[in-house]
Structure formats: structure tokens, C-alpha cells
Amino acid sequence: MEVLKVDSAALKQKAVAIRHEVFVDEQGVPAEAEQDEHEDICKHFVVLDSNADPVGAARYRQTEKGIKLERFAVKKTARGTGIGSKLVEAVLEDIRMQYGQGIYVYLHSQLSAVPLYSKFHFLKEGEQFEECDIMHYKMYRKS
């Protein structure tokens, strides 16, 4: 398994394909909500398995509030293998390298992913809310 920072159109397409499979096909998120106006300003990541097939993806971007982690997705057949943790580690390391320590990092976590982000010291903030018909918590930490 290899986590790669996307540096080509081909890798970005692999990341987008994983996101489409997980969010649109599996979870019923509208395709127009899954890909948005922030695609070109985000830093994208893709996870390739030992056969170089995409099995995970994520992105992040700078906002007026800090750094927002988004679109963390792992293919259903690859869940429970540590890919989610490897993605979070790689993204947080890239943020640390780009922005240094102490920056505000936040995300909107689906309820099922709260334990994953909690392992990386993200804290829930506020009440549950709905986004694309899926319940979420806002979570944050300092890098």
C-alpha cells in the first residue's frame, strides 16, 4: 500500500474515481455535490494497493478558518486494513511540512469515522448536523 500526493492528472482521476465509488455510488451523495468548485485548489492524495489499484483518496485545502480536510474515502473492500489511518497520517504530515506546527485543522466527519479522527486527537465541536443526508460532527485539532 502506498499513499501518494497527487501530482498528475492520471493520479487525480484515480482519486476522483474512488470518491465517486464511495460517496456517489455507495452513499447516494449527488455527483454535483461530491465534486465541487474547490477541486483545483485542493491538495489531493490517493492510496494504491500492491497492484497499483486505487483504494483510498483524500484532499485538503486552506480556508479562512484554517486547513479543512475533506473527501476521505476508502473503497468498501479495503476498509479495516489501516488505509484510513495511513491517509490521515500522510495528510497531517503534508500539512505540517507546508504550514508548520500549531495550525487549526478541521473537518466534517461522518459519524462512522469519528473514532478514526479521534485517534489523531481531533475533538468534536458542536452538535451533529446533516450534510448530503448523512450525519456529521465538526472536528478540529491543532497540527
Report the CATH number at residue 101. 3.40.630.30
- Output the nine-digit C-alpha cell for 130: 446533516
User: In this structure, are residues 11 and 46 in contact, taking their beta carbons and an 8 Å threshold?
Assistant: yes
Q: What is the mean pLDDT of the chain?
A: 93
Q: Which domain holds residue 53?
A: 2-142
Q: Per residue in 30-60, pLDDT tens? A: 888 888 888 999 999 999 998 989 999 999 9
Q: What are the backbone dihedrals phi and psi of residue 112, each rounded to the nearest 5 degrees, phi first?
A: -65, -20
Quote the number of domains for the chain. 1
In this prediction, residue 75 carries a pLDDT of 95
Return d(Cα 62, Cα 40) in angstroms, integer: 12
The percentage of the chain sitting over the pLDDT mark of 90, rounded to a whole number, equals: 79
Q: What is the DSSP string of 17-76?
A: HHHIIIIIIIT---HHHHS-TTTTTSEEEEEE-TTS-EEEEEEEEE-SSSEEEEEEEE-G
